[in-house]
Homo-oligomer: A and B are copies of this chain.
């Protein structure tokens, strides 16, 4: 079969790889229907994630069909269409018992396309399939469902729920890439009074407006002042960091009101400065986190009920075998305007059709 293999920083290719097989009684083998590419995959390609060994098939997001299960798999069966979550859960360690699947100590956590072969392939082995593969409601198309492998639960759990968004809140979201945009969509489940999206790219601010931001601000033009003006000088109730840079994190801590929350979602490579000389007295709560995906069944139910605007985040689609082209488009988002790039699915059953 074919898979997208990481060779070394800067080199990866869609090529022949061995078919996966059941290794443990809790494994399943899944035929991949739809996959997507994550910003983290680009980090791996650049060499920023050294624990990914050469030869690993990348990808931690997919929708597929179960084709085989181990002897101890009980909640999914061959033929089931399932969402493969970016997080694998052993279900038995102290973290999994608390629903902190992202911190799993029993062989799970983020392992697909990281410590073991991932989803950007024709078939993939899924450990602990009972807890890591989610049967899909029939009404959610695979091309939309794949967004629930990572960005929807990430923005919801690590941004919206960690940030304690409440009805009537003023919410500022710094960064309107895929995660920030998903945070706009999922925060609206809690009816904030207003959502202010902040980014540098006009195209992303336009997308933020479409997804329901009430106001948008250019990151270069004193967004903190805009938030202060809208809140009688107090600051936002909740600020979500969805960039991953020291300066954007520091902007968040300046924009939050006394008693407010800063929820960090961004993946950071460098330390930030925490201005405790100002913040110690402000009753601020700052949270960080890797997604646990405990909310995935709930979000899928809301998607099936039409409560989440899933479609608007996908800008490009490709057939599965144009993986290299898809990476090219996704990695040059500033030029191509790419948000989420989706591969496979019904419309590419035979041939590639570039999307809008």
Residues of A with Cβ closer than 8 Å to B? 24-26, 71-72, 74-75, 90-95, 97-100, 102-103, 106, 130-131, 166-168, 188-191, 193-194, 244, 246, 249, 258-259, 264, 266-277, 279-290, 292, 294, 297-299, 301-302, 305, 307
Contacts and interface: CB of A to CB of B under 8 A. Distances in A.
Contact of A97 (B99, B103, B246): B99
A103 B93 CA distance: 20
B283 A285 contact: no
B273 A268 contact: no
Contacts of A26: 72
Contacts of A102: 281, 283
Work out how many copies of this chain go into the complex. 4
Given A26-B72, A276-B271, A298 B190 contact: no
B72 A294 contact: no
Nearest to A244: B280
Given A74-B106, A277-B269, A288 B298 contact: no
Task: Please provide the 5 A-B residue pairs with the shortest distance between their CB atoms, ordered closest to farther.
Answer: A268-B276, A168-B298, A189-B191, A274-B274, A283-B289
Given A258-B103, A269-B277, A302 B97 contact: no
Contacts of A302: 167-168, 191, 193
A94 B244 contact: no
Given A258-B95, A302-B168, A276 B283 contact: no
Contact of A71 (B25, B103, B130): B25
Nearest to A129: B92
A258 B92 contact: no
A271 B275 contact: yes
A284 B95 CA distance: 14
A217 to B, nearest CB: 18
A267 B278 CA distance: 10
A91 B94 contact: no
10 contacts: A24-B72, A99-B99, A103-B259, A167-B190, A168-B298, A271-B277, A276-B288, A281-B290, A282-B288, A283-B292
Given A266-B280, A280-B264, A280-B266, A259 B191 contact: no
Contacts of A106: 74-75
Contact of A286 (B95, B100, B285): B285
A152 to B, nearest CB: 12
A191 B193 contact: no
B307 A191 contact: yes
A193 B259 contact: no
A273 B276 contact: no
